[in-house]
Amino acid sequence: MSHITDLSFSELKKALNDRTLSSVEITSAFLDRIDALNPTLNAFITITRDEAMQAANDADTLISQGAGTPYTGLPIAHKDLFCTDGTLTTCGSKILSNFVAPYDAQVVSQCKNAGLVSLGKLNMDEFAMGSSNENSYYGPVKNPWDTTRVPGGSSGGSAAAVAANLTPLATATDTGGSIRQPAAFTGTSGLKPTYGRVSRFGMIAYASSLDQGGLIAQTAEDIAHGLGLIAGHDSRDSTSADQPVPDYTQTLNDSLKGKVIGIPKEFFDDRLDSAMRQAMNEVLDVLKSLGATTTEVSLEHVAEAIPAYYVIAPAEASSNLSRFDGVRFGYRADSPTDLMDLYERSRGEGFGSEVKRRILIGTYALSEGYYDAYYKKAQQIRRLIRDDFNRALGTCDLLFGPTTPSTAFVIGEKTADPVAMYLEDIYTVATNMAGLPGGSFQAPLINGLPTGYQLTGRAFGESMILNAAHQVQTVTDWHTLRPEGV
């Protein structure tokens, strides 16, 4: 039955609608593949086989009665920071290794309401802090293209699971590139929507002003289907945008004639590897052949995005993670001598080294005497970056660039140098700082490893990003390439 797992989300939807496959057949095929490959890839933390098969049975009953939605019975897997009622929700951390969520995140409940079948919870960098998925309490995720390499982070489990056909669609989150960078490293499609487009209710926070839920799948068309299910206003999230949700599938086949694509000169300077530059030029040639025109633009302050991000994000993490204290839920240290000992040892034993590093940085940046010098200054830079993007997108429909500086690196290669790891997000962080939508889609392989190109759009311009990516995917085969041996 392994051929079932080769099908994309859109192809599976058609097979279910045509009654050529049942939800039970689809779900059991993916679960069997997970059982076979997850011990090697480590993409799933929790596999919910019994619940998934029950949901698939229920879905088939609904479909036979003509009572389901167009998506009833299709599989999905969730990044393990979306709270899932009755299911272990760990955020990749020891401190939440015994936490069973008592409610569903809005994204999870929207997927359930649409009739999707959850296969389980996906591995991730602890509290979404990382660019390689090496920071998980549950061990690193392996890249299906080369298991000695990282899949990217923090949504490495989501990306590896889609790349290895363990699930056709996966939820993910992006704070500084954590959907787009893993998508590029694993040869998948990933979209970070506009800030506020997808509810953060029930999504365990890293940096509240930057976090955004999104999706990883095989194609832009798959994401167009999925985004329509998870997007929308939620009164329980004060930052949720009260904007109508379009049918993202309706504009996939629009012509690109007359569309202007901006090329930020800062993304194509001397630091860009020549092989990556060649791959990007191939994608640009395709976009031009489809009728788009290109123009050079400047994002003057983009060089300051990484240092500003690594002040703002840890500062917000310092505040958000203060709730994990060993008192109400999660890991608790044994036999504390007093309350302070309980706090110190629960947090000291429960958090990993990267999380501790960012809490320390963030607490320092927010401390008296340093707030104005660091946090306030970083927020001022953020506004300049946002203004740069809005200026460029005033004359262009989309901005184009590489998603990552290189292909996936070897596990352990950058763990001793946090700054080198942080620079992996050099092309992605600025989009989060501006609150804009960004997607990464498959580009030509380099030495047998995947690469991705990035499209950034105007606020709530996800349709335009997906349209352009879909048009490229209709005339290229980069998105059909799969790792050998999995």
Any idea which residues carry the catalytic annotation?
79, 154, 178
C-alpha to C-alpha distance for 30 and 52, rounded to whole angstroms: 10
Q: Which amino acid is at 108?
A: V
For the record, the structure tokens of 278 come out as 């060649």
HSE (CB half, 13 Å, CA atoms) of 79?
Answer: 35
HSE (CB half, 13 Å, CA atoms) of 399?
Answer: 29
Q: Which amino acid is at 361?
A: I
C-alpha to C-alpha distance for 406 and 345, rounded to whole angstroms: 39
Provide the greatest CA pair distance for the chain: 70
C-alpha to C-alpha distance for 108 and 170, rounded to whole angstroms: 11
Q: Which amino acid is at 185?
A: F
Can you list the positions of beta strands (E) in 299-353? none
C-alpha to C-alpha distance for 53 and 69, rounded to whole angstroms: 18
Spatial CB neighbours of 235, under 8 Å, sequence gap ≥ 6: none
- Is residue 156 within 8 A of residue 141, CB to CB? The reply is yes
Spatial CB neighbours of 64, under 8 Å, sequence gap ≥ 6: none
Is-cis flag, bond preceding 109, omega within 30?
Answer: no
Phi/psi of residue 124, nearest 5 degrees:
-165, 160
C-alpha to C-alpha distance for 131 and 421, rounded to whole angstroms: 7
C-alpha to C-alpha distance for 39 and 180, rounded to whole angstroms: 25
Q: Which amino acid is at 224?
A: A
